[in-house]
Chains A and B, each alone.
Chain A
Amino acid sequence: MTRRRIVLARVLACAVLPMAAVSLEARGANAQPATPGSTKTPLVAAASDLQFALDEIVARFHSDTGITPRVTYGSSGNFARQIEQGAPFELFLSADEAYVDRLTARGLTQGKGALYGVGRIVLFVPHGSPLEPDPGLRNLAARLASGESGRLAIANPEHAPYGRAAEQALRSLGVWEAVQPKLLLGENVAQAAQFASSGNADGGIIAYSLALAPALRERGTFALLPDTLHAPLRQRMVLLQRASPAAASFYDYLRAPASRAILSQYGFVLPED
C-alpha cells in the first residue's frame, strides 16, 4: 500500500512539476504585456494594407519615443474575431470601420476611435503578364470572354475588406460571374498582392497602399480603379480595453501631421477631422 502510494506520489511529481515550471516560465514571459501601463511594446493589430506605411511610422515613433509597438498584420475580419475571443491587442487598425463599430457595440473598445484614412484599390499587373493595367478592366473582360484568362488574385471577400471592395468593383463592371472561376483568394490583401506580384497570378486587385510600396513597384505596373466602383473603404482605428499609455501615445502619434503625411504618401485619402 505504502509502496503504491510512493509510486503515485512520484508519478504526480513527474506530471505536475514540469507544469508548475511552465506556468512560472510563462508568467515570466507574459509579465511584460500582462501589465498595462509599464509596457514599452504595445501590441497592435493592423490591416495588412498598412504593412509598409505603418512600418515607417513605427520606425519614426520608436526613434522619437523609444517605444517599439509590436505589430501583427492580417485581415481585419480575423482580428475582430480574435479580439472578441480575448486576443491581447491594445490598438486595432481596421481596413473597414464596421469591424471597429461592432467591437465598440460589444464594449471592447475605449471610445469609438478615429478614422485614419480611406483606402483605394488598384489593378496590379506583374511584369510579363498578358493583362494590361487599365482602370476599366476592359482588357480583363475581353480575355475572360475569349477564355484565355489566367488567375486574378483578390483578398478573401468573406473577411477581408479589400476583397469585398474588389468583389464590388468586379460586380460594378459586370465581370464578377465570368471572373469567379479564375479568382485566387488571398487570406488578406497582402497575400493577394504577394500572389499577384510573384507572377503566380496574371494580376490582382489589391490595396493602393501596397502597390505604392517599393517592393511591389519594381515587380509590375498598376491602374488605380475609380472609387465609384465600390463602397468607400473607411478605415478606423480604436484603442482596445487593455490599451496601455504607450498604446495611447502611439494612437495619438498616428493622428499627428507627420504620420498623416506618410499615410498620404501611401495613397490613403485622409479624413477631415
Chain B
Amino acid sequence: MDWTALGLSLRLGLVTVALLLPLSFLLARWLAFGRFHGRGFVEALVALPLILPPTVVGFYLLVAFGRGSPVGAAFEALFGQPLVFSFEGLVLASLLVNLPFAVQPMQNALAAIPQNVRDAARCCGLSPLQAIRKVELPLALPGIATAAVLTFAHTLGEFGVVLMVGGSIPGETRTISIAIYDRVQAFDEPAAGAMALVLLVTAVAALAITNTLARRAGKRD
C-alpha cells in the first residue's frame, strides 16, 4: 500500500473539487439560464472530456503547457519549475478532464428550478447574488453535491492523462491509480490489490451517494 500515493490522490481530488466547483457553478448557471447563440457548442465543449481519449487530452496538454509552449515557459519563468510533471500540472489537467462531471449535474439541477420561483425571488427584491444564495444554491444542492462527489471520485481514478503529463514522481505526480500500475509491473500484486480495493470501494460509495442524492432530488420535484 502506497500511502504517499493515496495521500497525493486525496489532495488532488480535494483541490480539484475546491477549484472546479465555484467555476463550474458559474458556467452551469450561464448554460442553464443564459439565452444566447452557440449554447449547444459550449455544451459540447464542456462534454468533450467525456469522450476524448485521455491520451489525446494528455497530448494536447503536453503541447499546450510543455516547456516549448508560451504558457509552460511563462510558468517556468515565474515559479522556477516546469508545469508538466508537477502537482500544479496535474491540478490543471484534472480541472479540464473533470469539467463535464462538475458542470452537467449542476446545470441539470439549476435548469430544474422553475422560472416562476426565480421570478418570485426577483420580485421580492432579492439581488442576483442573494437570489443565488437563498434560492438557487439550496435548490441546486443535490446537483452540487453530485458534482463534488463525481469530480472527487473521477480524479482519484484518472489514469491516462496523469500518466502522460505526470511521469509517476513519488509524492508529486504518482497518484494511486499510477501506483497500482507501477506495483503490477514490480510483481507486487498484494499492494496493487490493496490499492485497487480502495478505489473500488471509493467508486461504489460515490455512486451510492450520487444515486441517493438523485432520488432525493426526484422526490422533491
Contact = CB atoms under 8 A, between A and B. Distances in A.
B170 A85 contact: no
Interface stretch (A8-16, A128-136, A140-148, A225-233): A8-16
Interface string B118-141: 000000000111000000000000
B81 interface: yes
B82 A26 contact: no
Contacts of B18: 18, 21-22
B128 A7 contact: yes
Given A7-B128, A82-B85, A191 B185 contact: yes
B44 interface: no
A194 B185 contact: yes
A190 B182 CA distance: 9
B15 interface: yes
B185 A86 contact: no
A97 to B, nearest CB: 21
A14 B22 contact: yes
A190 B186 contact: yes
Interface string A178-200: 00000000001011001001000
Nearest to B171: A70
A88 interface: yes
Contacts of A261: none
B80 A34 contact: yes
A114 interface: no
A86 B66 CA distance: 8
Contacts of A89: 169
B19 A19 contact: yes
A245 interface: no
B186 A51 contact: yes
B194 to A, nearest CB: 17
Contacts, number: 103
A68 to B, nearest CB: 10
A3 B131 CA distance: 13
Contacts of A38: none
A216 interface: yes
Nearest to B16: A22
B19 A22 contact: yes
B169 A87 contact: yes
Contacts of B66: 85-86
A72 interface: yes
B182 A26 contact: no
Interface stretch (B86-94, B97-105, B213-221): B86-94
A123 B6 CA distance: 36
The A interface is mostly helix, strand or loop, or mixed, namely helix
Contacts of B129: 3, 6-7, 10
A23 B89 CA distance: 11
A194 B86 contact: no
Contacts of B128: 3, 7
A86 B171 contact: no
Given A30-B87, A74-B168, A188-B185, A85 B174 contact: no
Contacts of B15: 18, 22, 25
A6 B187 CA distance: 58
Contacts of A190: 185-186
B172 interface: yes
Contacts of A48: 185
B186 A88 contact: no
Nearest to B188: A215
A131 to B, nearest CB: 20
Interface of A: 3, 6-7, 10-11, 14-15, 18-19, 21-23, 25-26, 29-30, 33-34, 41, 43, 48, 51, 70-74, 82, 84-89, 188, 190-191, 194, 197, 213, 215-216
5 contacts: A26-B86, A41-B171, A43-B170, A71-B170, A87-B84
Interface of B: 11, 15, 18-19, 22-23, 26, 62, 66-67, 72, 76, 80-82, 84-88, 91, 127-129, 167-172, 174, 182, 184-187
